[in-house]
Structure 1
Amino acid sequence: MERVLLCTVNQRTRIVMSDDEVTAFVRESRKLQLGTINPDGTPHMVTMFYGLVEGKIAFWTYGKAQKTLNIQRDPRVSCLIEAGDEYSDLRGVLMYGVARRIDDPEGILDVGMNVARRMAGMPDAEELLTEYVAYTGRKRVAFMVEQSRVISWDHRKLAIPA
């Protein structure tokens, strides 16, 4: 029994991403699964495009959205970013943290532009995106996630001899 546990622990340590790998994976990805807590305690999961502001996950949404109401009541969130279709290709980062609300128009516009650039795959499309972001931002709030815990995995590392 101990042998199986040791093997599992060693395999788990083999697939953990380094800090640099986590940073690169989060930077290269565009969507995440956002988990908030509903009033009855059940999870509320949604797919969100996200941006990076000061190296932190940032997203925006409508002020009356369920996720906004949930975060106002309980700011604890989880953010899951994953890739891969086959078991041997699975990679992911799961971040736990607290979502800090950004209400000021300039902050909302900054997060909105950051998200829109990544969402559109056009990092330098200021002119094309500014009007859209400014218009839709009137009814939106933004959040930045202060992470407290990060879990990662990269199953591609299993193909590399230990």
Structure 2
Amino acid sequence: MKQRDIVSMPADEVQKLLENGRKLQLATINPDGTPHLVSMFYGMRDGRIAFWTYRASQKARNLARDPRVTCLVEDGDDYFELRGVQVNGVVTRIDDLAGVTAVGKLVASRMAGQDAEVLDDYVAHAAAKRCAYLVEPRRVLSWDHRRLL
């Protein structure tokens, strides 16, 4: 058996890590082909990664030109604790205020913990300047180095 087969997580563990995570690294593609990599708070909607950003941000401009993304959610500090999920996919953009606000609330709940009501005013104000995205997965990779022990 290959080490890759040993460390890969089953689908339910992948979903659990994504549902329990708070931040991800998001890579989009700059006009010159280089990666644009940022850390983002995110939420989950219907099993898909959801995030929002300002309409004029570099990532929004990149995604308007090329909707491909790579998202990385990881956990652990030491080598034998490391686990992660990488999602390669394309985004669907959400522009309507209700849709953007709904994603903003998902993201805010990750930022503030379970009680996101403290951020309701922030979400309502920020939604007018933002767009939101859902990631349609094309390839999902996972690893859990705890399986090596």
TM-score bracket for the superposition, by shorter chain length: over 0.9
Aligned-partner SS, 1:23: helix
Tell me which residue corresponds to 1:146.
136
1:43 to 35, 57, 61: 35
* Length, aligned pairs only: 149
**2:116 match:** 125
List structure 1 runs of 4+ shifted beyond 4 angstroms.
Answer: none
Structure number with greater Rg is 1
Give the whole-Å Cα distance in 1 for the aligned partners of 2:66 and 2:80: 36
CA-to-partner distance for each residue in 1:65-116, whole Å, 9 max, x for gaps?
0000000000000000111111111100000000110000000000000000
Structure 1 unaligned regions, length at least 5? 1-8
Distance apart, 1:12 and its partner CA: 1.2
Instruction: Write the mapping of 1:18-29 to structure 2, written as runs, cut at 5 A.
Output: 18-29=10-21
Displacement of 1:129 in angstroms is: 2.2
| Residue pairs, 1:2-151, within 5 angstroms | 10-122=2-114, 124-126=115-117, 128-151=118-141
Residue type of the partner of 2:116?
A: A
Q: CA RMSD in A?
A: 0.9
Instruction: Report the TM-score when normalising by structure 1.
Output: 0.89
SS at match of 1:64: coil
Letter in 2 for 1:33: Q
Aligned residue type for 2:107: V
Structure holding more helix per residue: 1
The letter for the 2-side match of 1:132 is Y
AA in 2 matched with 1:112: G
Q: What is the CA–CA distance in structure 2 between the aligned matches of 1:44 and 1:129, rounded to whole Å?
A: 28
- Aligned-partner Cα distance in 2 for 1:23–1:100: 20
Q: Percent identity?
A: 57
